[in-house]
């Protein structure tokens, strides 16, 4: 495990991500806060979305966006 401050991590982010991809756990700290970069785990094929659902079409997304904008303006 590698622990590094936010200040140092800013200039080494690419290297830290590569380390995490190779399997190393990297902990980035900022005072009392910590974030852990861990190796990538492959996702299962959308098993969390079961049912008769289909992705929205472009037209449906546009209509939803327009509806939200109208509601915010009111």
Give the domains, in start order, of the chain with CATH numbers: 1-40 (3.40.1620.10)
The pLDDT score that the predictor gives to residue 29 is 93
Mean pLDDT of 15-39: 89
User: Are 15 and 2 in contact, with CB atoms under 8 Å apart?
Assistant: no
pLDDT in tens, 30-62: 988 999 988 876 656 555 555 566 777 888 888
- Complete DSSP assignment for 2-62: EEEEHHHHHHTHHHHHHHHHTT--EEEEETTEEEEE----PPPSSTT--SS--PPPHHHHH
Token pair for 16: 């830290």
The pLDDT score that the predictor gives to residue 32 is 86
Token pair for 70: 């109208």
């Amino acid at each position: 495990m590698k622990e590094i401050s936010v200040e140092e991590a800013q200039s080494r982010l690419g290297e830290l991500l590569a380390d995490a991809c190779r399997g190393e756990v990297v902990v980035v700290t900022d005072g009392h806060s910590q974030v852990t970069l861990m190796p990538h785990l492959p996702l299962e094929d959308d098993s969390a979305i079961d049912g008769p659902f289909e992705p929205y079409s472009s037209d449906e997304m546009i209509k939803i966006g327009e509806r939200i904008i109208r509601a915010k303006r009111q």
